[in-house]
Every structure is written in structure tokens, then in C-alpha cells.
Structure 1
Amino acid sequence: MSNSHPLRPYTAVGEIDHVHILSDHVGILMNGEEYSDVTFIVEKKRFPAHRVILAARCQYFRALLYGGMRESQPEAEIPLQDTTAEAFTMLLKYIYTGRATLRDEKEEVLLDFLSLAHKYGFPELEDSTSEYLCTILNIQNVCMTYDVASLYLLPKLTCMCCMFMDRNAQEVLSSEGFLSLSKPALLSIVLRDSFAAPEKDIFQALMNWCKHNPKEDHAEIMQAVRLPLMSLTELLNVVRPSGLLSPDAILDAIKVRSESRDMDLNYRGMLIPGENIATMKYGAQVVKGELKSALLDGDTQNYDLDHGFSRHPIDDDCRSGIEIKLGQPSIINHIRLLLWDRDSRSYSYYIEVSMDELDWIRVIDHSKYLCRSWQKLYFPARVCRYIRIVGTHNTVNKVFHIVAFECMFTNKTFTLEKGLIVPTENVATVADCASVIEGVSRSRNALLNGDTKNYDWDSGYTCHQLGSGAIVVQLAQPYMIGSIRLLLWDCDDRSYSYYIEVSTNQQQWTMVADRTKVSCKSWQVITFDRQPASFIRIVGTHNTANEVFHCVHFECPAQTTTHKEETGEDDVGTGGQQLASRPLRSSSTSSVQSLPGCTSHS
């Protein structure tokens, strides 16, 4: 290969791509007097340019230079205010070549450059510059960067600045950039629950800002201080001498502090979206419970009867529990915990949170429900420092076992009803730790594996003898369920009759579908009033071919989009009607069997 030819970008056969050459040649025209027909003046510096190039690249310049205004006159000289020569030089280079070098420029120049990209309508340049600014955020530049990002409504850059300031709140408060923030930007920062600095430090930083910006309304600024979070000593010795708040405001704060529950105070907390903060990395530790070291080690595979879990004895007065102390007050709305699940046992429990270990708020109450394996729990966001899990029941013995614990703040949207999740996706899956605890099948969880294509006379279904037993599915935790979808075995023309009940404890059952007098085939969609459910029992009452009830697939809630794709129908015969709940029925349970003998049932 000859070394005299520069490497060129790879192109497909039959395509020529010399864009880089075009960029280089057009770039030669920049700042040259030759062929120029307009001149911009920035900070007394002259920038010759070419109308047609500017107009082709930018709608703003198209309107300015060809819109019939004074600037459209030949050889016009156009002064530009509110920018710097350095930033405008960078913009012209981008207009002429499509290139810009950011890494060697000062933050002030980059922010001016970003302002020009926004002003003149270069969205791709705006995005690329914002992305680069996200990578160079530091204590010195984050405030002025946030000011610009919030002014121009740049969501990604604004979010990154907020996250950086949240994690470095005290350093930001003492930085010079904090004093130069605009009033709207200042308020939007300190009003955030996640701007988690001590309230005394926030007050003193705002006091310094007021001194630095004497023309602004100080009363509105001081309203951002959460006075009830400050101690009596701080209120009397720091706030009162400043004269920025009235004596009545201070007395009101003392009254709120003394009369309110601690957990009702408007605390600030660390916010790290989507990341587990119950880890050694963030300073979390287990402070109560037996075998503390296992809970936060991240190992969710290696555990058995003897090791790999934390525990506490279950007593009637619920004095025992497992307690986690987070590294600092934090905002959380999501907890994941793994209950010991090496056999079929179930547990009941509740979870409380606190800031001071004295005032506890219950965020999860599963004390009346049977739960197993992984628990995915959601609740309204709370600031807390301590989390306490109290087991109230174990179906095997009087000990409560947890293998793993995680907590975090999630941006995932969720709906709660009566404290329980209203799921939109199918939760009766093996991945969600649902299981078939009664019924006969070649494969233990064939009913829940999502396979609605591969079944025949011998396999791919779960069944039970008519008049004896049932098919029972246990969900990992209670959900608010209002619909169910079934696929009845349909390799021939047979039809079935059945009914469905739900329960939270396997003791009391509520009928949600009665199809004992209806001939049903293939896909079934059942809807009913939403109610708590941990167990779903399907009881076959008739089969036109033999004495066995067969079900290929089960899901809840019903996935209507999937149903349309699989059947081409919006509804299924009798499957879509609204069915009223029926009186309670007694339970009957037996264990799941995986028996080849079910072949003969078909």
C-alpha cells in the first residue's frame, strides 16, 4: 500500500464518500476576505463570512441575511452582542466544517458556545456540547453550568448537574459558583429533597448568597430553609442573630419540631436513582439480627440450611427483627429482599423505616399474607436512615430468614392499591418466583414457562383429576389482581368447565370466576374486581373427553396485547365478560407432582 494516500473512511462498493475533503475545502473559506459578502463584529473583532453558507446551515441566519432587513444589504456589517469572540470563532468553524474542538477550551467559553448553539438553532451541536459538559463537571463549574442548562431547558445536562450537586452538596454550598447562581436556579437547587446537606449549612450558604445579591428578595430565599430540621441551639444562635427571619418564623419552627412526629418532618436525603445503597460501598450495615454478615454481601446463590442468611426469632410481641442502618439519610421507594426458599415454606413480615430508631413508619405490611423467595416491594418515597424487617410467621418453624436485602430509589412508575402493587406485566412467571404448588405435570412449572406453542398429548400442560384436587399457583408476594388468562388444552375438540378462586393465605378463598355451567375451549380471559391475591386455584369440573382437567398456560394479570397477537381476537368467547366475586370456599391443598403418568389423562 502506498503511504502517499491518506486513509479514508470505509464506504460500500459503488459509493464515494469525500465529506472530509468537502469539509476541509469549505473550511478554508472561513475568516477569509475572499468571496465574503457579510462581516460580523464581536468584541471589536471582525469576522468575514459568506451569506449562502450561513443560510444553508442555519435558519436563524437565513432569516437574518435574506429576510429583507438591514442585515440583508450587500457587504453589511453586523455587530453581535452577548457573546465572546472565542465562542463565535468556534461556532463559525462548526458552521463551515461541522467540527468543533471542546477539550482545550475553558468552561466559560464552552458555556458561551452552548448559548450560541441554542440561540442560533443547532440542536445536534447543543446536545454534543451538553454531553461533553456532563463529563467535566466539578465543584468549580457545576453551578454556572446548571444556571445555563436550566435557562435553556437542557434536560440531560440539568439532570447531571443536579445529581452531581446532590452528591457533593456541602462542597457546592461553599463554592464561589454558588454565590453567582441566578435566583431561580438557586431555589430549584435548595428546594430539592435530595440536596442533602445539613440545614445549618444551607442556611449559612443562603445568607452569604443574600449578602452577595443584595437586590434580590431575601424573604423568598429564606423560605427555602427547612427550619424545623434545625436544632434549638442552631435556631437561637445561628438563625436568630442573622435577622433574616422573623421571631415568629423561628417560634413556629420550634413548635413544629416539638409537636410533630419525627418521620413527618420534611427531611432531606441522598438520592442515587436505580442503585442499591444497602451496600458496604455506601456505608450500610446490619445492626440488629443474627448472622449479620450474610445479609449485605451480595451473594444470592450460596445458601442452605446452615449458612448464607440472616435471621431472627419470631415472637408474639414482634420485639425481634433485622435492622439495617444506611450510610446516611436516603430517599428510597423500592426494596428487594430474598426470603430463604430452599424448600416450599412461606413467610409473613412487615417493614418499617425511621430516621432516629424511635419513630417508625410502616411502609410494607405483609403480616397477613404468605410470601416466598424474592420480594419486589414499592412504596411512596421516604427519607430514612434505618430499615427494620420483622418476620411474623414461618409456615415451618418460628424463625425468620432473609438471604439478601437491597434498597434504592427507582424512577420506574408503579401503582399501589391498599399498599399492594397493581401489576401491569404478568407476575405468574418463574422469573418472578411464582410456582405451581398443586397439580400434575411432566415439568414442575410448565404452566408458567410462557410456552404456548409446544404442547401435545404427552407434555406441555398441567392437570388434575376431576373431583379431586386442583391446580394452584403461588405468587411470590401479594398483588392486586383483576384479570387472569388461561390456555386450556385444545389439541382436539373437547371443552371444559371450571371455576377459579384466589386467596392470600390458603385458608380463605374468594371465587372470581364461575364457569361450571359453561363449555370453554382454548384461550380464556377472566376479569373481575381487583383484589389481593397470593394464591390462585383453578378447579376443573367437567371435560367432555375424560375425567381430567388440563391447562397449558396461566398468567395474571391478563396480557391483552399478547392475547391479540396470539389469537387475533380482542376477546375470547365467554372469556372477556365481567364476573362477580363469589362467596368464600374452603381450601384443599396437596403437593405438586411431576409424573409421566399424566400422559394417560389425555
Structure 2
Amino acid sequence: METPGLVVHGEAAPFSTALRSLLNNPQYSDVCFVVGQERQEVFAHRCLLACRCNFFQRLLGPKLGSGMPSPVVLSTVPAEAFLAVLEFLYTNSVRLHRHSTLVSFLLLLMGSDHTLPHTHSGLERNVFQHRSSFHFCSQLCLEFVVKVLDVELVCEALQVAVTFGLGPLQERCIAFIEAHSQEALRTRGFLELSAPALLSLLRSDKLRVDEAELVLAARSWARVGAAVLERPVAEVAAPVVRELRLALLAPAELSALEEQNQREPLIPVEQIVEAWKCHALRRGDAARGAPCRRRRGTLPREHHCFLDLPFK
């Protein structure tokens, strides 16, 4: 029986540093990517990408001929995110940063072959179609997102979670927004949420915001969507406004909303009628489909006493 040879392990840090020096280094590179709308050139090494990732193995194919092949154009991939992915492939680690770079990186890692839902920011289907190749790195990225959630990042992270069905991340984002509702509703990320992502928020009983503010926030969200998608405000708002709890508004507030709704349609007339029925009959269950459960941030109004509906 042959005696097994002695395995000698070198230090990991110098090895990683040496590989990192090859990252986006034109020396010895044999493939060039043209990345993002800015068409930034990124240099890489085919053998390393192919052995580390099945996607790149399929994308790059066998090397033909000599010299540098034609650049691979990835115009919809953010350059910073692409470089972060390469950093992980070269060194088995990655420096993650907050906000836009982080979210773009997560989108890149979690890409699928399903069409993404329309969001106001116009998320596009990206080039990475195979989740398994980046599963470990994507888990690290998800853990990092949860650790660094803040008001400016949380709505963007929620959109990613809803888009790709990341239940734990979605729950964490919603819980964060429930605790920081007013601040989150004022962010650009909130205005750029897709309808399914916004629905997940409006169905919560734990939002620390009054219903009147939620109506204003929904109108602002719909206006942005109408401008981006070139559709009427009421059409954009249709998937989400049913979750607004109009019966919680006082009669004067409901009248003001009705007048504004005539000038700029947002809420179906029958939904406003249902809210008036709750006031007229002095019962919260007067109209089916007219939600009137209090939220944590609901300000008290005189008529709430006859709704007699506790917090969930």
C-alpha cells in the first residue's frame, strides 16, 4: 500500500493577496467585459472564471485562436456589482458596501430566468441566470444585508426580497419598516417599490403611522409610478389601494379625501362608499372588504369607539 504523501498548506492570506492583484488587471488577462451603461472595461482570466463558476464556463466557451477575443458586453449589469462578484470568484471573499452597490450585488447574485415584476426604478432581467453557482456567496450577502439594514436601504432590500421570494429577508425588512414607518415612507426606495412589495407593507397591522399619512404616501407612490410607466395614477394604484383602511379616517378627513379623489382619482368610489357605511351604521363590519383594523400608529378618533376592533 502506497504511503500517502505529506500535504503542505501554505498561508491563505498571501495566496488571496496574489489572486486579488489579478482582479481587473489587463496583464495576462484573456477576456474583457464591457459592463454597465458607462461601458466600463473589466479584465479577467477565462480559466479562473470557468473553473469557479459554471455560468462563466458556458458564457465564455472554449478559447478559440490566439489573442484577446471580442469583449463580452454586459450593459445591464452595474459595474460595481460585477467587480464585487469577480472579487469573490478570485479570492473567495468580497468587500461588501452599503446601499446601491450592495443591492445591485444582491440582485446580480439572485438573478433568475423569470421576468422581474415592473418596479418604478425599472429593474431589468440581468445576465446571471443560475442561482446555484453563487448560492454560498448570496447567503453571505443576505446575512450582511440584514445586519446593515437602515432607513435608506430597507425598501430597496424589501424589493429584492419580494422579487426573488426571499421570505426571511422580507420578514426582516417589514419588521424594520414597522418600527421606522414614518422615516421609511419618506425615502426614495419607498416610492420605487413594486405593487406586490407595497402590498406586503399595507397589509401590516404594526405600521407606526396613521392612515391619513398612508393615504398620502400611497398617492405619492402612485404619482411616481404613473410618471415612470406613463399610465394613469388610478391604474397604477389599483393593486394596492384596497389595503388602505379608510374607515379609520374621521368624517371630515373622509370628505376631504373624497374631494381630492374627484380632482385626482386614486381610490375607487365604491371603496369610499364602504367607509361611509361604517360611519353611518356605526359598525366596523358594516361593509365586507372595508378593512378598518387599527394599526399601531393609528391616531385615535371619536368614531373608533364604535368600530370596537382591537389591534391584531
2:80 equivalent in structure 1: 86
More strand per residue = 1
Matches within 5 A, 1:543-582: none
| Structure 1 residue 56: Cα displacement | 1.4
| Structure 1 residue 242: Cα displacement | 2.6
Amino acid at match of 1:205: A
Do structure 1's residue 44 and structure 2's residue 39 form an aligned pair?
yes
Amino acid at match of 2:26: E
> Contact 2:195–2:239 at 8 Å: present in 1 too?
no
Instruction: Tell me the secondary structure at the aligned position of residue 72 of structure 2.
Output: strand
2:24 equivalent in structure 1: 31
> Contact 1:150–1:185 at 8 Å: present in 2 too?
yes
Q: Distance in 2 between matches of 1:45 and 1:81?
A: 9
Amino acid at match of 1:100: V
1:403 equivalent in structure 2: none
Q: Distance in 2 between matches of 1:358 and 1:248?
A: 22
Q: Distance in 2 between matches of 1:149 and 1:67?
A: 36
1:253 equivalent in structure 2: 275
Q: Distance in 1 between matches of 2:58 and 2:160?
A: 26
Matches within 5 A, 1:155-554: 155-214=167-226, 215=231, 217-243=236-262, 244=265, 245-259=267-281, 261-262=283-284, 266-270=292-296, 383=311
Determine which of 30, 48, 56 is the counterpart of 1:53.
48
Q: Which has the larger radius of gyration?
A: 1
> Contact 1:240–1:250 at 8 Å: present in 2 too?
no
| Structure 1 residue 111: Cα displacement | 0.9
Pick closer, same or farther for the CA change 1:262–1:249 going to 2, 3 Å: closer
Q: Distance in 1 between matches of 2:295 and 2:105?
A: 35
Provide structure 2 residue ranges, at least 5 long, that are not aligned to the other structure.
1-5, 112-127
> Contact 2:218–2:237 at 8 Å: present in 1 too?
no
Q: Distance in 2 between matches of 1:357 and 1:237?
A: 22
Amino acid at match of 1:144: E
Pick closer, same or farther for the CA change 1:166–1:268 going to 2, 3 Å: farther
Amino acid at match of 2:260: P
Instruction: Tell me the secondary structure at the aligned position of residue 222 of structure 2.
Output: helix
Instruction: Tell me the secondary structure at the aligned position of residue 47 of structure 1.
Output: strand
Q: Distance in 2 between matches of 1:359 and 1:268?
A: 9
Do structure 1's residue 19 and structure 2's residue 12 form an aligned pair?
yes
1:527 equivalent in structure 2: none
Q: Distance in 2 between matches of 1:164 and 1:125?
A: 24
| Structure 1 residue 259: Cα displacement | 3.1
Do structure 1's residue 98 and structure 2's residue 92 form an aligned pair?
yes
Pick closer, same or farther for the CA change 1:139–1:89 going to 2, 3 Å: same
Amino acid at match of 1:114: L
Deviates more, 1:27-36 or 1:196-205: 27-36
Pick closer, same or farther for the CA change 1:155–1:67 going to 2, 3 Å: farther
| Structure 1 residue 133: Cα displacement | 1.9
| Structure 1 residue 211: Cα displacement | 1.8
Amino acid at match of 2:107: S
Provide structure 1 residue ranges, at least 5 long, that are not aligned to the other structure.
1-12, 271-327, 330-354, 362-381, 385-602
| Structure 1 residue 200: Cα displacement | 1.1
Provide Cα deviations, 1:406-429, integer angstroms capped at 9, x if missing partner.
xxxxxxxxxxxxxxxxxxxxxxxx
1:148 equivalent in structure 2: 160
Amino acid at match of 2:224: H
| Structure 1 residue 78: Cα displacement | 0.1
Amino acid at match of 2:80: E
| Structure 1 residue 74: Cα displacement | 6.3
More helix per residue = 2
| Structure 1 residue 269: Cα displacement | 3.5
> Contact 1:263–1:360 at 8 Å: present in 2 too?
no
Q: Distance in 2 between matches of 1:233 and 1:208?
A: 21
> Contact 1:40–1:78 at 8 Å: present in 2 too?
yes
Matches within 5 A, 1:120-135: 120=128, 121=131, 122-135=134-147
1:426 equivalent in structure 2: none
Pick closer, same or farther for the CA change 1:240–1:78 going to 2, 3 Å: same
Pick closer, same or farther for the CA change 1:173–1:77 going to 2, 3 Å: same
> Contact 1:229–1:257 at 8 Å: present in 2 too?
no
Q: Distance in 1 between matches of 2:14 and 2:186?
A: 50
What count of residue pairs does the alignment treat as equivalent? 265
| Structure 1 residue 106: Cα displacement | 4.4
Do structure 1's residue 112 and structure 2's residue 104 form an aligned pair?
yes
Instruction: Tell me the secondary structure at the aligned position of residue 34 of structure 2.
Output: strand
> Contact 1:228–1:254 at 8 Å: present in 2 too?
yes
| Structure 1 residue 186: Cα displacement | 1.8
| Structure 1 residue 358: Cα displacement | 6.9
* TM-score of the aligned structures, taking structure 2 as reference length: 0.73
Pick closer, same or farther for the CA change 1:14–1:49 going to 2, 3 Å: closer
Pick closer, same or farther for the CA change 1:239–1:139 going to 2, 3 Å: farther
Instruction: Tell me the secondary structure at the aligned position of residue 240 of structure 2.
Output: helix
| Structure 1 residue 96: Cα displacement | 0.5
Matched residues, percent identical? 28
Instruction: Tell me the secondary structure at the aligned position of residue 250 of structure 1.
Output: helix
Pick closer, same or farther for the CA change 1:180–1:76 going to 2, 3 Å: same
| Structure 1 residue 165: Cα displacement | 0.7
1:62 equivalent in structure 2: 57
> Contact 1:262–1:359 at 8 Å: present in 2 too?
yes
Amino acid at match of 1:99: S
Pick closer, same or farther for the CA change 1:152–1:262 going to 2, 3 Å: same
Pick closer, same or farther for the CA change 1:74–1:175 going to 2, 3 Å: closer
Amino acid at match of 2:16: S
Pick closer, same or farther for the CA change 1:262–1:251 going to 2, 3 Å: closer
Q: Distance in 1 between matches of 2:252 and 2:10?
A: 72
Structure with the larger RCO, 1 or 2 (CA within 8 Å, 6+ apart) = 2
Q: Distance in 1 between matches of 2:306 and 2:212?
A: 23
Q: CA RMSD in A?
A: 3.1
Amino acid at match of 1:200: A
